[in-house]
């Protein structure tokens, strides 16, 4: 009996891919599935494009031209990839700790809102105010995620639920703030209509991130080197520091981690707060790097894209760089689509399908592996049942 | 495969005491003839024959792994037998599965209840029946059975809101609602209090007297077998060793039969002074003036606080069940204390307690004379408490980490250079050392833990816990599920550690394992220590009585 239990545990506890499968075969299978999935995604998009009367070839050429066809386009794609990259980095950290933060949108909005307040109201030398603005975005996101972390520590409330619901709170709070003069709404110009637009004033030029180069020539904001540096920093910390190891332990086996002296609750809460801080920072970069004011819809779906990007890379920090670039391509290429007469939403359909294609193969293989192991376990139990 | 012929109990059905409720000439309610069940090379049941009469409560007694549950699972069709025959009322039958068994009039209340906690009582009862769910009918059945047997249960209560005793009642109601000819109960009292158990036995008595059903009661508790049954059959190592009318049995005879003679032999060897070399070496190497070592006793330095002292500790499960109930014990430096007992009496909780993972509601732990926060894993680690837990995948290692990481995981601070980065070279060096010293078979130190065999995973755990230089080490079922080699390996490691002065607490349900190395043996029963003896005064009969919950 106990021997069976031990074998069962071994069977069910091993990470996917560890059981009876050669590594080369597994990788080969994965690549084949990726190719198949992407072909299917393209075929479906093609069929949709044909239905609305466009041509698939023109769609691709538009996406290509709009995203990497020119130096200027490459710069824009890189700029769009930056917030995705920063948000995704935070998401990946919570995944390592065994949690699932889906509150990036709210954390990004809160970070950006607090940053806007600082940028508009703090006076001083531009670079210092810029630093304070970015710091405020970090704090805003961290605090918003911190609510979820506290709820988890206090009553073990599921992070998925708390962070998801806090998104709605953040969206509504922002809506209120930018419609209220005393908070964030831009002052009504003299003689202008009372009420005004639900948006903040533009932040001063001195508080904007430097952006060398200008479209149509190559140009890219300072956000890019900062984001890449953050990825490098955390990739190294995750793999080389005791913190990174503890994070992995907590994600893999919280009970054993506790026994080994890890402060499981703190590590998990810290990971969530860090993830929120990064999402907030993405909001700060968006604010100071390209949008310059806050309004409803400010997040422009960057929070969700970051989450998806983290899902696609599955725990490989360095893979965030190419994958976030791909998300940037869909964005810039997609807006270029308009020029071909194909509706913009088709670009989003293509993005959705391509993300599915990127997420599907590993998940499918894992599922299949689990089904196989459960079958084996069931056979073992039936055989032994003692 | 040649099957040894074992004493069969077929002929015993004419025993005088059991005949009281049986009408002569009729076939027994249920009869197993020569049932054999093998799992790979292990024979769980070897040519077992058993016959149970109508109107009789038949006790099936034996230690864990004696084959009782396997036999019953064969009977209700959970697992197919490799040989032998089942007869119901004299008619040979083949039970295909439990549903078929129910149709034939065989019902079994599982040790771990087969109730669905989120559902109500009547819903659970209705689930035992095929066809359309009828709330009205199910409620009526629950009420009828309740009145008939004094098994009151609120049909509208949700199972998750019931106490374990009430759940047990529902489990029995569910079985009785099938109107079985034969009712089987697998260790029904393992979660019940004494009064709840008495209540249950009263019900069983009703069941056999009123309806002339047959009841098979699986147990390893001597008292309840003596109290509640008419006949008793004792199994050991997959075979029936004895069967008798309960009126002819007494606790001593049952204990002897249950624990067995081969164990007795070993114990006798130990008792006649076959002192192991470790002890002898220990005595000659370090003659301590204050402590004249008596045969079979560890040399425990007097005047020094014990390596580990547990004082009146109470631990409860999250659902409020008592796991440890006033547990107190002491382990001297260099002493190996064996904790014997039947499984489910708190073994795992002792491991959790010393890992800092238990919910301690009372009591304290002292290591080397210092009181330690019993709920802080860090304090216990810092005080030098090593743990080889019962379930290494739960709290002994992290399968997703590498072997090297698992070897240093409780000492990360010592492998951190300049406060920020792990000193990977030092970790690898340490891992290579330990892999060599503890003979761990792994392709490389960076291999994931999950790729190792169970025995080697266990060696990693042992290596890590001992390499920290613990003051005391608790090993809970350290060889469970592992092969014979692992047993020897573990004994050797524990002996070596004790010789080096580590106080060892060996918790095991395998008496052999304990008798082989322990200096002193205590018996764990229902979460507390009920008896104690030195190895040189081990008396297996007394041990059996204590393990079965009898004072001795």
pLDDT tens for each residue of A276-307: 999 999 999 999 999 999 999 999 889 988 98
Interface touch A386/B410, C-beta < 8 Å = no
Q: Name the helix (H) or strand (E) containing B506.
A: strand B503-507
Torsion over CA: A197, A199, A205, A206 (sign): positive
Contacts of A248 in chain B (CB under 8 A): 398, 400-401
Output DSSP code: residue B230: S
Torsion over CA: A221, A223, A227, A229 (sign): positive
Write phi, then psi, for B319 (nearest 5 degrees).
-85, 10
pLDDT in tens, B385-416: 999 998 888 899 999 999 999 999 988 888 88
Q: Which residues contact B305 (CB under 8 A, 6 or more apart)?
A: B366, B368, B369
pLDDT in tens, B171-207: 889 998 988 999 999 888 766 766 778 888 988 898 8
Task: Report the C-alpha gap between A112 and A300 in whole angstroms.
Answer: 12
Instruction: With CA atoms as reference, report the closest residue to A89 among A231, A225, A224.
Output: A231
Who has greater pLDDT, B130 or A91? A91
pLDDT in tens, B61-82: 887 668 888 898 889 888 888 8
Distance to chain A for B398, nearest Cα, Å: 6
Residue in the structure block whose two tokens are 């034939």: B104
Residue of A6, A15, A240 with shortest CB distance to B400: A15
B271 has a pLDDT exceeding 60 = no
Interface touch A9/B393, C-beta < 8 Å = yes
Centroid of chain to Cα B192: 16
What is the pLDDT, as a whole number, of residue B545?
85
> Is A46 within a domain?
no
> Is A215 within a domain?
yes
Q: Of A303-307, B371-375, B377-381, B500-504, which gets the smallest average pLDDT?
A: B371-375
> Is A92 within a domain?
yes
- B439-466 average pLDDT score: 90
Interface touch A259/B395, C-beta < 8 Å = yes
A379 touches chain B (CB under 8 A): no
Q: How confident is the model at residue B284 (pLDDT cuts 50, 70, 90)?
A: very low
pLDDT in tens, B214-243: 999 998 778 888 889 999 999 988 899 999
Task: Report the C-alpha gap between B411 and B468 in whole angstroms.
Answer: 8
**From the candidate CATH numbers 3.40.50.970, 1.10.1040.10, 3.40.50.300, 3.40.190.10, the one assigned to the domain spanning B263-396+471-547:** 3.40.50.300
Task: Report the C-alpha gap between B538 and B519 in whole angstroms.
Answer: 10
What is the pLDDT, as a whole number, of residue A192?
65
SS3 call for B64: coil
A24 touches chain B (CB under 8 A): no
> Is A205 within a domain?
yes
Number of Cβ pairs < 8 A linking chain A and chain B: 107
How many Cβ atoms are within 10 Å of B419's Cβ, its own excluded?
A: 8
Q: How many domains does chain A have?
A: 1
Cis peptide before A216 (omega within 30 of 0): yes
Task: Report the C-alpha gap between B539 and B545 in whole angstroms.
Answer: 10
Q: Mutation test of the interface with chain B: which of A256, A262, A263, choosing the one with the most B Cβ atoms within 10 A?
A: A256
What is the pLDDT, as a whole number, of residue A226?
96
Contacts of A386 in chain B (CB under 8 A): 37, 39, 44, 69-70, 73, 79
- B489-518 average pLDDT score: 90
- B345-358 average pLDDT score: 92
Q: Mutation test of the interface with chain A: which of B71, B74, B398, B480, choosing the one with the most A Cβ atoms within 10 A?
A: B398
Distance to chain A for B277, nearest Cα, Å: 31
Q: Tell me the Cα Rg of chain A.
A: 23
| pLDDT beneath 50, residues of chain A | 1, 15-20
Q: Which residues contact B497 (CB under 8 A, 6 or more apart)?
A: B466, B470, B473, B504
Interface touch B393/A14, C-beta < 8 Å = no
Residue of B70, B395, B400 with shortest CB distance to A252: B400
Residue of B44, B399, B422 with shortest CB distance to A14: B399
> Which tokens go with A266?
């703190």
Task: Report the C-alpha gap between B531 and B326 in whole angstroms.
Answer: 14
Interface touch A253/B399, C-beta < 8 Å = yes
Say if CB A312 and CB A358 are below 8 A apart: yes
Confidence check on the interface: ipTM exceeds 0.90, yes or no: no
How many Cβ atoms are within 10 Å of A184's Cβ, its own excluded?
A: 22
Interface touch A18/B410, C-beta < 8 Å = no
Q: Which residues contact A265 (CB under 8 A, 6 or more apart)?
A: A152, A153
Could you give the C-alpha distances from B192 to A37, A188, B160, in angstroms and in order? 56, 75, 16
Residue of A3, A382, A386 with shortest CB distance to B481: A3
A240 touches chain B (CB under 8 A): yes
Say if CB B110 and CB B171 are below 8 A apart: yes
Task: Report the C-alpha gap between B284 and B293 in whole angstroms.
Answer: 10
Domain residues of chain B, as ranges?
A: 1-105+180-187+211-259, 263-396+471-547
Instruction: With CA atoms as reference, report the closest residue to B220 among B108, B59, B76.
Output: B59
Task: Report the C-alpha gap between B544 and B532 in whole angstroms.
Answer: 12
Say if CB B418 and CB A241 are below 8 A apart: no
What is the pLDDT, as a whole number, of residue B274?
39
Torsion over CA: B394, B395, B400, B404 (sign): negative
Distance to chain B for A190, nearest Cα, Å: 56
Closest residue on chain A to B77 (Cα): A385
Interface of A with B in 265-294 (CB under 8 A): none
Q: In chain A, what is the greatest distance between 2 CA atoms, to the nearest angstrom?
A: 86
Fold assignment, B1-105+180-187+211-259: Rossmann fold (3.40.50)
Task: Report the C-alpha gap between A323 and A238 in whole angstroms.
Answer: 19
Interface touch A256/B381, C-beta < 8 Å = no
- B105-132 average pLDDT score: 83
Structural domain range at position A259: 78-186+195-313
DSSP labels, A181-192: TTTTBPPPPTTS
pTM for the full model?
0.71
């Amino acid at each position: 009996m106990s021997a069976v239990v031990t074998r069962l545990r071994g069977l069910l506890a091993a990470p996917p891919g560890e059981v009876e499968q050669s590594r080369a075969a597994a990788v080969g299978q994965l690549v084949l599935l990726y190719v198949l999935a992407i072909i299917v995604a393209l075929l479906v998009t093609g069929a949709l494009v044909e239905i609305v009367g466009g041509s698939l070839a023109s769609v691709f050429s538009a996406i290509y031209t709009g995203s990497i066809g020119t130096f200027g386009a490459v710069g824009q794609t890189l700029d769009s990839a930056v917030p995705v990259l920063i948000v995704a980095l935070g998401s990946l950290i919570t995944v390592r700790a065994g949690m699932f933060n889906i509150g990036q949108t709210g954390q990004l909005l809160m970070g950006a809102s607090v940053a806007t307040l600082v940028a508009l109201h703090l006076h001083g030398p531009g670079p210092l105010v810029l630093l304070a603005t970015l710091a405020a975005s970090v704090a805003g996101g961290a605090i918003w995620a911190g609510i979820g972390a506290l709820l988890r520590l206090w009553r073990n409330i599921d992070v998925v639920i708390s962070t998801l619901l806090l998104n709605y709170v953040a969206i509504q709070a922002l809506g209120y703030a930018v419609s209220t003069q005393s908070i964030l709404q831009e002052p009504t110009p003299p003689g202008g209509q009372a009420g005004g637009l639900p948006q903040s004033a533009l932040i001063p030029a001195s508080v904007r991130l430097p952006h060398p180069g200008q479209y149509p020539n190559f140009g890219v904001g300072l956000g890019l080197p900062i984001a890449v540096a953050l990825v490098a920093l955390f990739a190294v910390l995750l793999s080389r520091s005791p913190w990174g190891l503890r994070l992995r332990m907590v994600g893999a086996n919280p009970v054993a981690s506790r026994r080994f002296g890890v402060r499981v609750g703190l590590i998990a809460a810290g990971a969530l707060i860090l993830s929120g801080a990064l999402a907030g920072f993405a909001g700060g970069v968006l604010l100071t790097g390209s949008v310059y004011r806050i309004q409803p819809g400010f997040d422009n779906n960057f929070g969700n894209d970051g989450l998806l990007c983290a899902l696609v890379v599955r725990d490989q920090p360095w893979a965030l760089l190419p994958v976030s670039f791909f998300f940037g391509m869909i964005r810039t290429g997609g807006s270029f689509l308009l020029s071909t007469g194909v509706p913009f939403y088709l670009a989003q359909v293509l993005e959705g399908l391509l993300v599915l294609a990127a997420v599907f193969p590993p998940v499918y293989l894992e599922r299949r592996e689990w089904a196989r192991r459960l079958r084996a376990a069931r056979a073992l139990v039936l055989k032994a049942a003692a | 495969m040649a099957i040894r012929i074992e004493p069969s109990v077929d002929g015993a059905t004419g025993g005088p005491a059991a005949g009281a409720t049986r009408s002569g000439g009729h076939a027994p309610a249920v009869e197993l003839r020569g049932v054999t069940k093998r799992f790979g090379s292990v024979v769980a049941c070897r040519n077992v024959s058993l016959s149970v009469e109508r109107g009789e409560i038949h006790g099936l007694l034996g230690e864990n792994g004696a084959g009782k549950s396997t036999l019953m699972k064969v009977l209700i069709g959970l697992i197919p037998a490799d040989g032998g025959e089942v007869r119901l009322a004299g008619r040979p039958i083949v039970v295909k599965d439990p549903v078929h068994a129910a149709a034939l009039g065989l019902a079994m209340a599982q040790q771990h209840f087969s109730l669905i906690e989120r559902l109500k009582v009547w819903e659970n009862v209705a689930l035992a029946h095929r066809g359309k769910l009828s709330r009205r009918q199910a409620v009526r059945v629950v009420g009828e059975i309740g009145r008939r047997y004094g098994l009151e249960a609120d049909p509208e209560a949700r199972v998750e809101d019931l106490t374990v005793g009430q759940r047990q009642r529902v489990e029995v109601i569910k079985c009785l609602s099938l109107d079985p000819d034969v009712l089987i109960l697998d260790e029904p009292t393992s979660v019940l209090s004494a009064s709840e158990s008495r209540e249950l036995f009263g019900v069983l008595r009703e069941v056999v007297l009123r309806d002339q059903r047959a009841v098979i009661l699986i147990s390893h508790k001597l008292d309840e077998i003596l109290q509640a049954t008419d006949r008793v059959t004792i199994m050991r190592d997959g075979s029936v060793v004895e069967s008798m009318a309960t009126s002819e049995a007494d606790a001593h005879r049952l204990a002897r039969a249950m624990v067995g003679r081969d164990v007795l032999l070993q114990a006798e060897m130990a008792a006649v002074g076959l002192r192991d070399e470790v002890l002898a070496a220990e005595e000659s190497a370090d003659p301590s003036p204050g402590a004249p070592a008596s045969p079979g006793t560890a040399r425990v330095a007097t005047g020094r606080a014990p390596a580990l002292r547990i004082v009146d500790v109470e631990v409860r499960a999250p659902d409020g069940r008592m796991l440890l109930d006033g547990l107190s014990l002491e382990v001297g430096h260099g002493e190996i204390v064996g904790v014997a007992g039947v499984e489910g009496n708190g073994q795992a909780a002792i491991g959790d307690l010393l890992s800092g993972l238990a919910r301690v509601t009372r009591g304290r732990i002292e290591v080397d004379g210092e009181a330690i926060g019993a709920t802080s894993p860090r304090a216990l680690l810092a005080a030098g408490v090593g743990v080889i837990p019962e379930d290494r995948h739960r709290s002994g290692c992290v399968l997703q980490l590498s072997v090297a990481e698992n070897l240093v995981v409780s000492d990360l601070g010592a492998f951190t250079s300049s406060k920020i980065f792990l000193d990977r070279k030092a970790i690898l060096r340490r891992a290579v050392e330990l892999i060599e010293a503890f003979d761990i078979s792994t392709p490389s130190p960076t291999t994931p833990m999950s790729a190792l065999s169970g025995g080697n995973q266990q060696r990693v755990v042992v290596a890590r816990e001992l390499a920290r230089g613990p003051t005391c080490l608790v090993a809970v079922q350290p060889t469970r599920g592992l092969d014979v080699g692992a047993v020897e390996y573990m004994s050797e490691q524990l002996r070596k550690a004790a010789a080096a002065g580590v106080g060892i607490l060996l918790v095991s349900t395998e008496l052999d394992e304990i008798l082989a190395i322990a200096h002193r043996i205590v018996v764990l029963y229902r979460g507390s220590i009920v008896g104690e003896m030195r190895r040189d005064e081990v008396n297996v009969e007394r041990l059996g009585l204590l393990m079965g919950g009898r004072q001795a």
